[in-house]
Amino acid sequence: MSYGHSSAFGWPLRGALLLTIPIAFVVGALTGHTPNWGIFQNPVVLLGSIGLAAMGNLWSLLHVEVLKGKPPILRVDISANLLSIFILAVASLLGVLLIGYAFLENFTRR
């Protein structure tokens, strides 16, 4: 079924490209060699790229439709694109990791 969404590899590839910056930041932070990239270290850029990759891949996986009738029926179709599911899982993991790190770093007992 095609619902007018982009091709099967459109959002997974865009999502993978969007996740390269947060992945490089997390790997650099874990190894102790955080790259000095200026604007790319901004939390809005890091979390925004993760959110955009997740939402784009979620959009390519889901199709929601309201069928007219008595009563109206809500129909949700989920495609089984494994690459999109993988990118969505990696984006979710990175998002939880970075937000958890932000809370641990800023709200510790002093």
Averaged pLDDT, groups of 10, the chain, 110 residues long: 56 87 87 82 88 88 88 88 89 91 78
Computed from CA positions of residues 82, 84, 90, 95, in that sequence, does the dihedral angle turn out positive or negative? Answer: negative
Report how many domains make up the chain: 1
Residues 6+ apart with CB under 8 A from 82: none
Say if 14 falls within a structural domain: yes
- pLDDT at position 49 is 92
- Domain of 39 in residue numbering reads as 10-106
Q: pTM of the predicted model, to two decimals?
A: 0.75
Say if 94 falls within a structural domain: yes
Say if 5 falls within a structural domain: no
